[in-house]
Amino acid sequence: MVKDLCRQHGMFSVTYYAWKAKFGGLEVSDAKRLRALEEEHARLKRLRADMMLDNRGLKDLLSKKW
């Protein structure tokens, strides 16, 4: 039955079971909160990576002899 539904909607059954394992016991509000936290986490990781690049660039600039 799950395989038929997945085939009908164009997705793999493995994807269905992964989603079920991740979101199976969550309420809608919990899933929305989880998504918001994941987006915030990704934004903070990008911000940290940008800061590390800026820091490295400044170190390279200051380490060169004038």
pLDDT of 40 higher than 80: yes
- Per the model's pLDDT, the better-predicted residue between 18 and 63 turns out to be 18
pLDDT at residue 66, rounded to an integer: 60
- Amino acid (1-letter code) at residue 33: R
- As a whole number, mean pLDDT of residues 50-66 equals 86
The DSSP secondary structure of 6-36, one letter per residue, reads: HHHHT--HHHHHHHHHHHTT--HHHHHHHHH
pLDDT at residue 65, rounded to an integer: 66
- Amino acid (1-letter code) at residue 17: Y
The DSSP secondary structure of 38-57, one letter per residue, reads: HHHHHHHHHHHHHHHHHHHH
- Does the predicted model carry a pTM greater than 0.85? no
